[in-house]
Amino acid sequence: MQGQTSTRLCDSMFEPAVAVPDHLEGRPGRWLLFDRRQQLLLVDGELPVAAAPMGGVTDVHVLGHDRDGPVWAARIGSDFDFPERGEFTDLRRAYAALAEHDWVLAGRAAQVLTWHDDHQYCSRCGNETEHHDGERARTCPACRLMAFPRLTPAVIMLVERDDGQALLAWGRQFPGRFFSALAGFVEPGESLEQCVAREVREEAGVEVANVRYFGSQPWPFPHSLMVGFNADYAGGDLRIQESEIVEADWFPHDRLPPVPKGRMSIAGWLIEDWVNRMTNR
| Helix axes 2-9 and 266-280, enclosed angle (nearest 10) | 150
Task: Give the pLDDT of residue 261.
Answer: 83
The H-assigned helical ranges of the chain are 2-9, 91-94, 100-118, 192-204, 266-280
Q: How far is CA 60 from CA 31, 54, 95, 221, in A?
A: 10, 9, 23, 21
Task: Give the pLDDT of residue 57.
Answer: 97
Do 2-118 and 152-280 agree at the fold level? Answer: yes
**Tens digit of each residue's pLDDT (9 = 90 or more) over 53-96:** 999 999 999 999 999 999 999 999 999 999 999 999 999 999 99
Does domain 152-280 match CATH 3.90.79.10? Answer: yes
**Tens digit of each residue's pLDDT (9 = 90 or more) over 189-207:** 999 999 999 999 999 999 9
Strand pairing class (40-43; 86-89): antiparallel
Task: Give the pLDDT of residue 1.
Answer: 40
CA dihedral (222, 225, 228, 234) in degrees, to 10, reads -90
Chain centroid to CA 132? 25
**Considering the chain, what percentage of its residues have pLDDT values greater than 90?**
92
Task: Give the pLDDT of residue 164.
Answer: 97
In 3D, which of 182, 281, 191 has the Cα closest to residue 233? 182
Task: Give the pLDDT of residue 18.
Answer: 97
Choices 3.30.160, 3.40.5, 1.10.3210, 3.90.79: CATH for 2-118 = 3.90.79
Locate the domains of the chain by residue range: 2-118, 152-280
Task: Give the pLDDT of residue 7.
Answer: 39
pLDDT of 2 strictly over 50: no
Do 273 and 253 meet the contact criterion of CB atoms below 8 Å apart? no
- The residue-averaged pLDDT of 219-223 equals 93
Distance CA(238)–CA(182), nearest Å, equals 13
Do 111 and 149 meet the contact criterion of CB atoms below 8 Å apart? yes
Do 231 and 158 meet the contact criterion of CB atoms below 8 Å apart? yes
